[in-house]
Structure 1
């Protein structure tokens, strides 16, 4: 019997969505050219399918399948009809029966795999699509087999939860490219996979390939901007994001990206942009965090903390939130509360240098030099010294009457500060005059 890889391929989407699997039927369907041995009921059903007369097709197939329950072609057709009517569970049942009737049915495994992927049944979808890649597509040809490989690559692409395998996805995409030419979606997927693998140069090259053909591509401009942000190339990233925003001015993800680069450049536009985003998306935790961070940088620690506290209530063990909350408390001179927040953070992550820095500063303000020295000692295991920590070392040892250590660290501070902290430099010189006379 002839395989059923048909004109219906041309009538349905043949590429998987960048973000998700398409909400349309699988892109494979029954052959409109009817072989002479085709039963009349099936032939009539397929004629109705050509006209998108799903009701007639369904009725014909249901009647036929009562007496021919293992007819592979009729089962596949029935699945295809149910798929087009968004009766996904019914469709998957028919596709499963078709592949059971003929385990070597390329179209059956592909259609079932794509349907399961759209339903979020990743493991089952992966099994069916992998099976399709091992089978002869026959009349379906290399285009649909390449689609199976592409669908596998998207399933294996790492998601926000970290699930996936970028290396396997890259191999699967390469298999698709052996069968059909590279598309824009392929380049974007290759960029995503390269970035997930930490190969930022390859990701940048892939995004630039897309932009060479389509300079206004939202996905490529946004994706390349993300790579550039990681490399702290903020001005160039900003240009790309603004190009993308010309196409989609209300896109919240693009506006959040723009706010990120503006904040990194201390651009005053960042705050009103984030305030508008937060007003439009008050439950978006990522936007709330960004706004809280920018408010803190702008000197409004109280307003920043009002945003952080509800987030902490939902995620009390979020270390980044605890540290940010502690830093806001420091800015408000609530040192005891800050110390408690930083202490909790270090108990959750003993290698968090920012939390140890916070403990050192709060302890210094609370006149607990022993604790400050302990915190600085632990911090030094994970991060290099900076002028601020040299100053904390010096003042803590000064409070502990350790003259030699205090002198050493005051000098370290003056060497490192290079005129950037005039008040503390004056204090250090004054103390050195006293300490070095003894």
Structure 2
């Protein structure tokens, strides 16, 4: 049931990118408590406002800054302070406006560019955020020093990390992380980000090595256990992935992304515990289409094709041209012996994606049940361009040619079937042997 497709959608839906710029706090003014001592030209009202900022007294700071800006509307430092105060109070539109005004007053303000970039990232405005963060990396951080410059590079790298949503640029993110590492030593978060970027670039061995480095230092790291589990799931190494996820769940038992991973590995191993776990996830996130897909898949595996198809039909009502949903729906219809309806679902899927091998497999099987051997052969011919043959397809080839009275082709494919079946299909093997006795005798 296309578990890899379901997994990808599920993890994209639930997994939050660790250490995303969207999770970072706004950057504070540079040493505001020392402002008066370092610069005697700073107005007393601004010194008082920054002293309130140090105490996290946002109400007082806001009052003093508003009063000061009423007569000093282009003071870059005061505008940044006002943005910082608004940012900390989650008044994001006001904060954005103050940061932009600070940049207009002083285009070389490292702190204003950085803080605006982080705020825009939190709002999901990736392109605008990237512009501001990139600008920050070109500016002098002043008394903030190399550590804050490195912070800007790391924020940019995390923004460019493709992550679960697939957006971004792993190559650029890797370069940006390297720039940060030129300024400050590598941290555990850097190693985890490097692992994430390696995985996004298809470098699974490098990703695994990085995750294992973190686990060597901290075996309880949830991010490393989950990340390594994801690599192993992609390789279909489900038992080891299960161990890692169980270890992470001990730390965060209610984490939805971890539970989604756990459900994935259980379902992949046909573990009966998968169904109640996915049902629980679905109850917690009833509107999440990825979890609904997972539940529909697990229900189908458990034999509840009616319950499974009810979910697939609800999903198709919203996404009628989703090929994966159409194929899954068609497979449920096959199980319910509704072969004409299944044929219609598979046919629509192939019209949307002519290279979908699963849809062609479905057409071949449905056509065999509807006694359309020529269509079976056509579907199998197209399917063979994308997937290797196996016992099931060999048997369909053989019986279709047999029905069309092509003896030589039927004999060839019956032998292919018997050579590959290995005793796993006793009824079909008996039928193949009986037909071979007849066909070879009449040659």
- TM-score, normalised relative to structure 1: 0.92
Asked if structure 2 preserves the Cα contact closer than 8 Å seen for 1:319 and 1:349, the reply is yes
Given candidates 235, 244, 247, the residue that maps to 2:248 is 244
**Residue 279 of structure 1: SS of its match in structure 2?**
helix
Mapped partners of 1:376, 1:261: distance in 2: 31
Query: Structure 1 residues 221, 127: closer, same or farther in 2, change over 3 A?
Result: same
Query: Structure 1 residues 330, 287: closer, same or farther in 2, change over 3 A?
Result: same
Query: Structure 1 residues 126, 361: closer, same or farther in 2, change over 3 A?
Result: same
1:21 is aligned to: 22
Stretches of 4+ aligned residues off by more than 6 angstroms: none
**Residue 32 of structure 1: SS of its match in structure 2?**
helix
Query: Structure 1 residues 371, 83: closer, same or farther in 2, change over 3 A?
Result: same
1:305 is aligned to: 309
Query: Structure 1 residues 279, 104: closer, same or farther in 2, change over 3 A?
Result: closer
1:83 is aligned to: 87
Mapped partners of 1:213, 1:265: distance in 2: 30
2:136 is aligned to: 132
2:9 is aligned to: none
Mapped partners of 2:340, 2:418: distance in 1: 29
Mapped partners of 2:98, 2:317: distance in 1: 48
**Residue 181 of structure 1: SS of its match in structure 2?**
coil
Mapped partners of 2:85, 2:364: distance in 1: 68
1:407 aligns with 2:411: yes
**Residue 173 of structure 1: SS of its match in structure 2?**
helix
2:281 is aligned to: 277
Mapped partners of 2:122, 2:304: distance in 1: 45
Count of residue pairs brought into register by the alignment: 423
Gaps of 5+ in 2: 1-16
Asked if structure 2 preserves the Cα contact closer than 8 Å seen for 1:28 and 1:111, the reply is no
Mapped partners of 1:101, 1:70: distance in 2: 6
Asked if structure 2 preserves the Cα contact closer than 8 Å seen for 1:296 and 1:304, the reply is yes
Query: Structure 1 residues 280, 41: closer, same or farther in 2, change over 3 A?
Result: closer
Mapped partners of 1:432, 1:166: distance in 2: 56
Given candidates 217, 240, 262, the residue that maps to 1:258 is 262
Asked if structure 2 preserves the Cα contact closer than 8 Å seen for 1:373 and 1:396, the reply is yes
Query: Structure 1 residues 29, 22: closer, same or farther in 2, change over 3 A?
Result: farther
2:68 is aligned to: 64
CA deviations 1:285-308 (Å, max 9, x no partner) are 222222222222223322221221
Given candidates 410, 432, 435, the residue that maps to 2:436 is 432
Asked if structure 2 preserves the Cα contact closer than 8 Å seen for 1:308 and 1:325, the reply is yes
Alpha-carbon RMSD: 1.7
Q: Per-residue deviation at 1:85?
A: 2.3
1:230 is aligned to: 234
Mapped partners of 1:63, 1:252: distance in 2: 46
CA deviations 1:366-396 (Å, max 9, x no partner) are 0111111111111111111111111101100
**Residue 385 of structure 1: SS of its match in structure 2?**
coil
1:49 aligns with 2:53: yes
Query: Structure 1 residues 213, 27: closer, same or farther in 2, change over 3 A?
Result: farther
**Residue 22 of structure 2: SS of its match in structure 1?**
coil
Q: Per-residue deviation at 1:334?
A: 0.9
Query: Structure 1 residues 129, 262: closer, same or farther in 2, change over 3 A?
Result: same
Query: Structure 1 residues 57, 304: closer, same or farther in 2, change over 3 A?
Result: closer
Asked if structure 2 preserves the Cα contact closer than 8 Å seen for 1:30 and 1:77, the reply is no
Comparing both chains, which one has the higher relative contact order based on Cα–Cα distances under 8 Å and sequence gaps of 6 or more? 2
Moved more, 259-268 or 218-227: 259-268
Mapped partners of 2:278, 2:299: distance in 1: 10
Asked if structure 2 preserves the Cα contact closer than 8 Å seen for 1:29 and 1:77, the reply is no
Q: Per-residue deviation at 1:20?
A: 5.1
Q: Per-residue deviation at 1:159?
A: 4.1
Mapped partners of 2:283, 2:119: distance in 1: 37
Mapped partners of 1:190, 1:114: distance in 2: 20
Query: Structure 1 residues 79, 277: closer, same or farther in 2, change over 3 A?
Result: closer
